[in-house]
């Protein structure tokens, strides 16, 4: 990782012997640019299929609430106790990675449903799903109060 890459990395760590990086800020930058271009009718200049959700703390909470993601009893208890997860902690990386994978599965399911139902392809991408889940979590925060968010202190937010 070079000095320019580091400003966009959320987490860079070794996970089971492999280097893992979450590029939250870079992805948000691209998604925001795409959103502006899309609103102007020019969004098709960027292929958004490679972008994942933004690996934050609020979307995993929504995914747990919606039954898409499930925490182990031990992880849920640690989060309810307010345990601070060290940046790069296996549990933090798993929460973020499983959230990304969950959103990819949702996206693939939506694409399959649209193709079966309408015979057409769907242009929903992971950023659009993230754009839905983040405000959903904020809007339903009272109903989700029993599901803790994970806390990680780091310089990458």
Residues recognised as catalytic? 56
The secondary structure of residue 67, as a DSSP letter, is: T
| Residue in the block written with tokens 């849920």 | 76
* Residue 128, φ and ψ in degrees, nearest 5: -65, -40
At a CB cut-off of 8 Å and minimum separation 6, what does 15 contact? 88, 90, 93, 97
Handedness of CA 121, 127, 128, 132 (dihedral sign): positive
Q: Which helix (H) or strand (E) holds 14?
A: strand 11-15
Per residue, the 3-state secondary structure of 34-56, as one string, reads HHHHHHCCCHHHCCHHHCCCCCC
């Amino acid at each position: 990782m070079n000095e320019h890459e580091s400003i966009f990395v959320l987490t860079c760590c070794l996970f089971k012997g492999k280097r893992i990086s979450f590029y939250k800020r870079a992805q948000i930058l691209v998604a925001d640019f795409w959103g502006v271009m899309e609103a102007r009718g020019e969004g098709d200049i960027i292929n958004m299929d490679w972008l994942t959700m933004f690996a934050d703390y609020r979307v995993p909470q929504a995914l747990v609430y919606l039954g898409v993601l499930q925490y182990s009893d031990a992880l849920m208890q640690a989060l309810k106790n307010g345990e601070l997860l060290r940046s790069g902690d296996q549990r933090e990386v798993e929460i973020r990675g499983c959230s990304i994978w969950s959103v990819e599965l949702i996206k693939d399911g939506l694409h399959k449903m649209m193709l079966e139902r309408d015979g057409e392809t769907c242009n929903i991408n992971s950023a659009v799903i993230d754009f839905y889940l983040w405000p959903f979590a904020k809007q339903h925060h009272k109903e989700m109060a029993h599901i803790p968010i994970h806390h990680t202190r780091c310089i990458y937010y």
